[in-house]
Structure 1
Amino acid sequence: MKFDKIIATGGIGTGMLFLSSQQKPLGRSESRSVTLSPAKDYCKQQIVLYYTASLLKDKIPVYPVGYVGADGSGSAIIEEMRLQGMDVTYISQSPEYPTTISICLQYPDRETCNFTAGNSASGLVTPEYVKNAMMQIGVDERTIVCAIPEVPVASRAEMVRAGKMKGALTVLSVPVSEAEEFEELSIYRYVDILAVNLEEAQAVAHSSETGEILLRKLADKLGNWNPCLSILMTCGRDGAYTYASQSVERIPPLLGNAINTTGAGDAFLGGALAGIARGMELRKERNDLVFGETTLRSAPELGTICAGMAVECEDSIAFHVSPMTIQGLICKNGWTAENHFI
């Protein structure tokens, strides 16, 4: 293992998934009948860290930092995360605010939009709370810190800033609605890896481009703050792109029967984090035409497998993803993988 612990903060809570029969985006004044899905939905930190913890179980500790309500939902989530292999010591319960709830609307093409309650326990994750947890856990050059949405911007910025000051590898995810805030904070100078989807990349770069052109524009802009910053950019059906050491690489998507794309980007990040912790590089130095064309060896390829398995699952977390099921998928498809891959 290249790293000996992972510390993250982000929203922790439950969600509800609604299915729209119409492809047209929901209008500002529109009332629409939709179908409530029986699928289980979760907030972002739990989704990301499920895959990380599952793939690193009994290898290195994974510490979620956050708040839930002192309610049945919050207690159940803490127990779930503990059973999933996470150290839940730094998840607190609030008697005043409820556990965060997220509402997801999925369109017929499987694209989704989300609403997350801001007046919930996750809002209690202050910069001081984050700093205190990091101090107690201990942060050094063998630590990965990851700031995930759905807690206050200032708290995520503090995790990245404090982590960088201690020599940790810092990872940041930036939603569209908060791109301007992070830019105003000049936080990118403390970020080692930026993880974004296509729309988030466009918001940060102030560009409507796509693919490699967008990624290079984003890298050029962020290079003004941090010329060493790397980028992971997911693009749905177009796969994912990485920018590292001033080079761009595309990872083809894992083709399959998509049932629910909710959480696919988070699954990608969770799998990639596990790969990084294992010592995998962000690039394999080859652009495969199809996934698995050459030997699997990079962290984004591990993330792609997690995302590909996630979209075939009705829930926002594909609980069947594990080292064993990934090994089975590799064998089934006749791919080859380096020994440290899984």
Structure 2
Amino acid sequence: MQGQELLNTKDFSGGSVVIFGSMNADYTVTTKRLPTGGETVVGGPLTILPGGKSSNQAAAVARLGSGATMLGKLGTDANGDFLETQLVKAGVDMSAVSRCDGPSGATVITVDEHGENTIVISAGANEHVDPAYVDSVSKELTSGSVLGLCLESPMESVTRAAQLAHQAGLTVVLNDSPFQGELPQDLIDNVDLLLVNEHEMWQLISQEGDETPALSGEGWWQKLDWAEIYGRLKAVGFQRVVVTLGSAGSMVLEDGVAEHVEALKVSAVDTTGCGDAFMGAILAGLATGSSLLDSARVASYVSAYAATGRGAQSSYGTLEQVRAYFADCDK
């Protein structure tokens, strides 16, 4: 089936996804254009919205109708209360999230009139998610069929979570973002699926003497040697990979084959959190028995819908809302 037929027939209920990692309050301001180094630009009103990569992914999973369990730490500040309330409202199980003294994680985001953004993260409570916490929630960690991870939490804790989940038979999905250089072998060995964008992909596989390829422009992704890219990713240790390509869609690398998934054309308002919406749809798709390729096809609709609203979680739709939006687009 093709994308829209998959979207219209997919049922995400019954899936069980665990998301381990970060929760942040997003401080967002819109500007006509993004500032260059040392420059001051005038922005619009400051808004505070729920965010954090893992938190976003959990909200996306829950809104699509799958079970979503969040694991991580919030601070004792008002942002902690705000983030917990918003995730509960989205349908996320927050019963195993703990609080620690001090501020919750926060993100400062600038968005221009084209929907492009810059992001700076302050870890807050996220940096206190240690391996001891991981062990304390091992029952919840292994309660689903799929585990979603990113790198906004300490690397040793992410690695421990991957180990416990992989040993328990869960499908472990790693979003290698924000990119932090070479990954620990113990983490790689316990990951079943890697999700990266085009820049993270190149940072991961580039070798000394390589010339950086063009990662933008008309048809840029078609000029890349995806067989070589896939070979390099397998050499790193990843057999199944999804590379998101922004407005060019995504590439699914699996079983020796590279398949391109088209992006959906929408009037983008804000691209903040679109990658997390895509990841959430991948997690929910795998948890409900879809193939990786079919999950990516549906995820392209889910992430495109997210670009039509402001903020991350605040722009995510339910399955019914996503279906209705693209049904209207076809009229």
TM-score by length of 1: 0.82
2:132 to 125, 128, 132: 128
Displacement after TM superposition at 1:136 (Å): 2.1
1:43 to 46, 52, 58: 52
CA distance in 1, matches of 2:58, 2:90: 9
CA distance in 1, matches of 2:271, 2:82: 25
3-state DSSP of counterpart to 1:114: strand
- Does 1:321 find its partner at 2:330? no
3-state DSSP of counterpart to 2:82: helix
CA distance in 2, matches of 1:261, 1:304: 13
Displacement after TM superposition at 1:2 (Å): 10
Displacement after TM superposition at 1:62 (Å): 1.4
CA distance in 1, matches of 2:316, 2:120: 26
Q: Contact 1:179 / 1:200 at 8 angstroms: preserved in 2? A: no
3-state DSSP of counterpart to 2:260: strand
Q: Contact 2:150 / 2:178 at 8 angstroms: preserved in 1? A: no
- Matched to 1:230, the amino acid is R
- Does 1:259 find its partner at 2:269? yes
CA distance in 1, matches of 2:99, 2:261: 40
Instruction: Name the structure 2 match of 1:303.
Output: 299
3-state DSSP of counterpart to 1:151: coil
Q: Contact 2:22 / 2:105 at 8 angstroms: preserved in 1? A: yes
Q: Contact 1:19 / 1:106 at 8 angstroms: preserved in 2? A: yes
Pairing 1:283-294 to 2, within 5 Å after superposition? 283=293
- Does 1:94 find its partner at 2:104? no
Q: Contact 2:306 / 2:316 at 8 angstroms: preserved in 1? A: no
Displacement after TM superposition at 1:64 (Å): 0.8
Q: Which blocks of at least 5 consecutive residues in structure 1 are unaligned?
A: 284-297, 336-342
Displacement after TM superposition at 1:72 (Å): 1.7
Pairing 1:1-342 to 2, within 5 Å after superposition? 5-22=16-33, 26-27=36-37, 30-39=38-47, 40=49, 42-57=51-66, 61-95=67-101, 97-118=102-123, 120-133=124-137, 135-137=138-140, 139=142, 143-175=145-177, 177-180=179-182, 182=183, 184-185=184-185, 187-206=187-206, 208-209=212-213, 210=215, 211=221, 213=224, 215-226=226-237, 229-283=239-293, 298-319=294-315, 321-333=317-329
Instruction: Name the structure 2 match of 1:340.
Output: none
CA distance in 2, matches of 1:16, 1:143: 33
Q: Contact 1:52 / 1:274 at 8 angstroms: preserved in 2? A: yes
CA distance in 1, matches of 2:241, 2:148: 14
Q: Contact 1:147 / 1:156 at 8 angstroms: preserved in 2? A: yes
- Greater shift in the superposed pair: 260-269 or 33-42: 33-42
CA distance in 2, matches of 1:330, 1:282: 22
3-state DSSP of counterpart to 1:224: helix
CA distance in 1, matches of 2:309, 2:132: 37
Q: Which has the higher contact order (CA 8 A, sep 6+)?
A: 2
1:211-252 Cα offsets, whole Å, 9 max, x none, are 36365444322313536x211111111111111111111111
Q: Contact 2:159 / 2:186 at 8 angstroms: preserved in 1? A: no
Instruction: Name the structure 1 match of 2:5.
Output: none
Aligned residues: 308
Q: Which blocks of at least 5 consecutive residues in structure 2 are unaligned?
A: 1-11, 216-220
- Matched to 2:148, the amino acid is C
- Matched to 1:163, the amino acid is A
TM-score by length of 2: 0.84
Displacement after TM superposition at 1:151 (Å): 1.1
CA distance in 2, matches of 1:151, 1:112: 22
Q: Contact 2:29 / 2:46 at 8 angstroms: preserved in 1? A: no
CA distance in 1, matches of 2:141, 2:247: 39
CA 1:138–1:161: 2 relative to 1, 3 Å: closer
